[in-house]
Chain A
């Protein structure tokens, strides 16, 4: 682990270079820190800002956290095996940094924490390892933005994130990816959910990316553990996106819901995967993936998978890929919109997934972030 913190640290998040401000904003990061319980910023490979404003919340670089908490070593490479693939091996063997976020037992950190992983220098290979822990009966809401400076022509982001949701705890994790056409992205995430624990994972990708591949997995090990994944993907330009969500339902009456909305335009190519594996008694799961095609040079492959290993399990999926219906455009034109405006309203509507389970302010914030991403797009 890298220990060179303290160098080039910011005094406040608003002190970040004007050039980078927009790139952070587009990843949902609030430079004023208003409405945030803590902020973390990693630029290239250095932690340049980390501050918490809430007692029940710990937020620091993973290297600092390992110095403070000896027990933290037990959480490293526990839900993600270090030898899972070439990327995890790479993160394991190199100097890496990342964030440590922990809500203490019974702490309800309703106000979201924000964490940003930012690539500012060209040809950077950003390798991070993050640990997120919600202790028993605590609540933690996290907004993470991954972003690059506009000048970047080529870069690599490898991010290992391990989540632990203890008994009765809840984590909502809303991630916005704001990459550019030269960036290769390989996040590796897994979540362990104990009895009565809840994960709500929202993912938004609106900007082009060279190549992105991820398949986060939630292990619902506890009784009544719940995981819900919502992904909103707009693949444009030459984006190559292979993205999925997987839930393994091990605990009794555990539940998973996976929803994705994929729009493919230009030469965008998306593989939208999803998998629910039912093992615990009376576990249930549902997958809903809808795709919208806007170009003859684009492609969407939708691969929903269900596996049940007991007789008392209910799993279902619905998948559809289609186009914008002409009668919908004409209906909106008959209310005064131009054809272009009508098309944009329909695409926005398609991507408008109802995200439940967020505190009111965060739900509005998420909606605002989605709208911002959409406005940038159209």
Chain B
């Protein structure tokens, strides 16, 4: 579904991603570990096509189409979705408005279908009338991102630190919604959607099973393998040790 070939990316004149290659097939969920500042978020923002992430060389292929030069909204229309780690607050634009926008609807009404979606995340209808992210708690921000993704229903979804700043009660709920968004309840061969989860702590992996895990260090995929094994190594020995171990084997 998503193919990234030899991608080198600069941000403000500084090389952040270096010849990065990654393939994610239909129905697969990949998890990307890595210390802060290694380039995980840069990879997501580059896949989204945000303008300050400058591609020096390499291509991004989505559903067989080269999207390297497409603007963000066209990539989104093709089926790419994202849950941001720290989305901006927008005064006067409500969560309900964002849900309508994500659904591609122009009307500014909150109807039964939107209320039903929100209910799945224990979001009360009156919360939909609040300005998006304005005064939201950490958990509310994540739930708002999940709600917008449910409304958008993308084929490929990126989650940037879905477990950061979320309390224990909400993390299980967020994990459950991620599983639903990524067809995890279906038989592997019936899964249509794919995902890429970025996590620093790995905490969210208790609630969603990935098919493959990668460790990113200094703008490169340093190690790839089975999620359980990689998670265990990172938890026990840290990122550097895990990479060392993988390269020895």
Residues in A lying within 8 Å of B, measured CB to CB: 325, 327-328, 330-339, 345-346, 348-352
Contact B93–A345 (Cβ < 8 Å): yes
Q: Are B102 and A351 in contact (CB under 8 A)?
A: no
Q: Which of B72, B77, B88, B102 contacts A327 (CB 8 A)?
A: B88
**A-contacting residues, B28-49, CB 8 Å:** 48
**Given known A345-B93, A345-B101, A349-B93, contact A335–B76 (CB-CB < 8 A):** yes
Give the distance in Å from the alpha carbon of A350 to the alpha carbon of B104 in the complex: 21
Bound state CA distance, A332 and B84, in angstroms? 12
Asked whether, in the complex, the Cβ of B88 is within 8 Å of the Cβ of A333, the reply is no
B91 at the interface (CB under 8 A from A): yes
Chain A residues with CB below 8 A from B82, complex form: 334
A332 partner residues in chain B, CB cutoff 8 A = 90, 101
Partner of A352, one of B50, B92, B98, B101: B92
Q: List 12 A-B contacts (CB under 8 A).
A: A328-B90, A332-B90, A335-B98, A336-B102, A336-B104, A336-B152, A337-B101, A345-B93, A345-B101, A348-B92, A349-B92, A349-B131
Once the chains are docked, how many angstroms separate the CA of A350 from the CA of B82? Answer: 25
**In the complex, chain B residues whose CB is within 8 Å of the CB of A349:** 90-93, 97, 131
Residues of B near A331 (CB, < 8 A) are: 84, 87-88, 90
CB within 8 Å for A346 and B101 given contacts A331-B88, A334-B82, A336-B77: no
Contact of A350 among B48, B87, B91, B101 (CB under 8 A): B91
B71: chain A residues at CB < 8 Å are 333, 338-339
B20 to chain A, nearest CB (A): 21
Q: How far is the CA of A351 from the CA of B92 in the complex (A)?
A: 7
Bound form: Cα–Cα A333–B148 in Å: 13
Chain B residue at smallest Cβ distance from A330: B50
Report the minimal beta-carbon distance from A167 to chain B, rounded to whole angstroms: 35
A350 to B93, CA, bound (A): 8
Check if B73 is an interface residue, CB within 8 A of chain A. yes
Decide: A338 and B73 in contact? CB cutoff 8 A.
yes
Q: Which of B72, B87, B91, B104 contacts A333 (CB 8 A)?
A: B72
Contacts of B91 in A (CB 8 A): 349-350
From B76, B87, B90, B97, give the contact of A336 (CB < 8 A): B76
Contacts of A352 in B (CB 8 A): 92
User: Chain B 96-119, CB within 8 Å of chain A: the 1/0 string?
Assistant: 011001101000000000000000
Q: Which residue of A lies closest to B87 (CB)?
A: A331
Q: Is the Cβ of A346 less than 8 Å from the Cβ of B90?
A: yes
Q: Render B135-164 as a binary contact track against A, CB cut-off 8 A, 1 for contact.
A: 000000000000010001000000000000
Told that A337-B101, A339-B73, A349-B90 touch, could you supply 14 new A-B pairs with CB distance under 8 A? A331-B84, A331-B87, A333-B72, A334-B48, A334-B72, A334-B76, A335-B148, A336-B77, A336-B101, A336-B152, A339-B71, A345-B93, A348-B93, A349-B92
The dominant DSSP class at the A interface is helix
- CB-based nearest A residue for B129: A354
* Contacting pair B90 A335 (CB below 8 A): no
- Is A330 in contact with B97, judged by CB distance below 8 angstroms? no
CA distance A293 to B93 in the complex (A): 18
Q: Which residue of A lies closest to B98 (CB)?
A: A335
Contact at A335–B84, with CB atoms within 8 Å?
A: no
Q: How many angstroms between the C-alpha atoms of A72 and B50 in the bound complex?
A: 65
Residues of A within 8 A of B87 (CB): 331
Known interface pairs A331-B84, A332-B101, A345-B101. Does A337 touch B73 (Cβ–Cβ under 8 Å)?
yes
For residues 18 through 33 of chain B, which have their beta carbon under 8 Å from a beta carbon of chain A? none
Residue of B nearest to A342 (CB): B73
Instruction: Provide the bound-state CA to CA distance between A335 and B73, in Å.
Output: 7
- Residues of chain B within 8 A (CB-CB) of A351 are 92
State whether B152 touches A335 (Cβ < 8 A). Answer: yes
Within 8 A of A (CB), among B42-95: 48, 50, 71-73, 76-77, 82, 84, 87-88, 90-93
CB distance from A331 to the nearest CB of B (A): 5
The reply to whether B73 and A336 form a contact with Cβ atoms under 8 Å apart is yes
Query: How many angstroms from the CA of A352 to the CA of B90 in the assembled complex?
Result: 12
Task: Give Cα A29–Cα B226 distance, bound, in whole angstroms.
Answer: 68
Task: Establish whether residues A335 and B88, one from each chain, have CB atoms under 8 Å apart when the complex forms.
Answer: no
A330-B72, A338-B73 given; A325·B88 CB < 8 A: yes
Residues of chain B within 8 A (CB-CB) of A338 are 71, 73
**A332, A334, A346: which has the most chain B beta carbons within 10 Å?**
A334
Question: A residues within 8 A CB of B98?
Answer: 335
Alpha-carbon distance A292/B90, docked complex (angstroms): 13
CA distance A338 to B48 in the complex (A): 13
Residues of A within 8 Å of B102, CB to CB, are: 335-336
**Smallest Cβ-Cβ distance to B52: which chain A residue:** A326
Using Cβ atoms and an 8 Å threshold, which residues of chain B touch A327? 88
Asked if B97 and A345 sit within 8 Å, CB to CB, the answer is yes
Separation in Å of the A349 CB from the closest CB of chain B?
3
Residues of B within 8 A of A337 (CB): 73, 101
| Alpha-carbon distance between A349 and B88 when the two chains are bound, in angstroms | 14
CA distance A328 to B93 in the complex (A): 10
